[in-house]
C-alpha cells in the first residue's frame, strides 16, 4: 500500500474508533432512560471563519460530532464535540447545550478547550473530551 493510502486508512480507523465510543455513550443515555439519543457526524475541509465574542478563528477543516438526547420528560439537549484545524494547531471543543427560550441554545456544561500540535496528540485530546461527555449522564436526572 502506498503512503498516502496508508495515512488515509489510519485517519479513517481513528475516526471510526471515536465514533464507536460516542455510539456507546448514546446507547448509555438510552439505557439510563432517555427517550432518544442519536449521534450525528459531519466532516468538512473547506476554510471558514468563526466569529466569537473575543476572537475570530480561521479554520481549515472540522470534524463535528453531536449526540442529540431527549429525556423522559421531553427535555432536549445536545452533547457536542468539535475538532478544528487552523494553520498552527488542532483545537478540540466540547460542550452540552439545551434549547433556549430565545430561539438559541444555552450552554449547560462547558469543558476546557484542548490543543494539539500533531494529529496523534489530537486523538489523545479527543479521547479526553469523550471521557468528559461520559460524565454528563447525570443530566437525565436533573
State percent of the chain over pLDDT 90: 55
pLDDT at 64: 95
58-61-63 Cα angle (round to 5): 125
User: What is the radius of gyration, based on Cα positions, of the chain?
Assistant: 16
The SS3 of residue 39 is strand
- pLDDT confidence of residue 138: 77
Are the C-beta atoms of residues 45 and 76 closer than 8 Å to each other?
no
For 90-135, write each residue's pLDDT tens digit: 999 999 998 777 777 888 899 999 999 999 999 999 999 999 999 9
Q: Which residue has the cell 472540522?
A: 62
* pLDDT attached to residue 142: 59
Q: Residue 37: what pLDDT?
A: 93
- 88 CB-contact burial (10 Å; exposed 0-12 / middle 13-18 / buried 19+): exposed
- Residue 57, number of CB atoms within 10 A of its CB: 12
Query: Which DSSP symbol is given to 73?
Result: T
Residue spans per domain, the chain: 3-141
Q: Which residues pair with 50 in a beta bridge?
A: 57
Its pTM stands at 0.87
**Residues 42-66 pLDDT 10s:** 998 877 777 777 777 777 889 999 9
Mean pLDDT to the nearest integer, 18-30: 94
Report the pLDDT averaged over residues 14-31. Answer: 94
CA distance 41 to 74: 23
Amino acid at each position: 500500500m502506498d503512503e498516502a493510502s496508508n495515512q488515509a486508512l489510519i485517519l479513517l480507523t481513528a475516526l471510526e474508533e471515536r465514533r464507536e465510543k460516542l455510539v456507546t455513550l448514546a446507547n448509555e443515555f438510552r439505557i439510563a432512560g432517555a427517550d432518544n439519543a442519536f449521534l450525528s457526524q459531519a466532516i468538512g475541509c473547506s476554510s471558514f471563519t468563526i466569529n466569537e465574542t473575543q476572537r475570530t478563528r480561521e479554520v481549515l477543516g472540522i470534524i463535528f460530532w453531536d449526540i442529540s438526547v431527549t429525556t423522559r420528560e421531553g427535555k432536549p439537549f445536545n452533547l457536542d464535540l468539535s475538532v478544528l484545524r487552523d494553520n498552527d494547531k488542532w483545537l478540540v471543543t466540547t460542550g452540552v447545550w439545551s434549547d433556549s427560550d430565545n430561539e438559541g441554545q444555552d450552554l449547560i456544561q462547558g469543558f476546557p478547550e484542548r490543543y494539539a500540535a500533531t494529529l496523534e496528540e489530537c486523538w489523545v485530546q479527543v479521547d479526553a473530551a469523550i471521557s468528559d461527555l461520559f460524565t454528563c449522564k447525570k443530566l437525565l436526572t436533573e
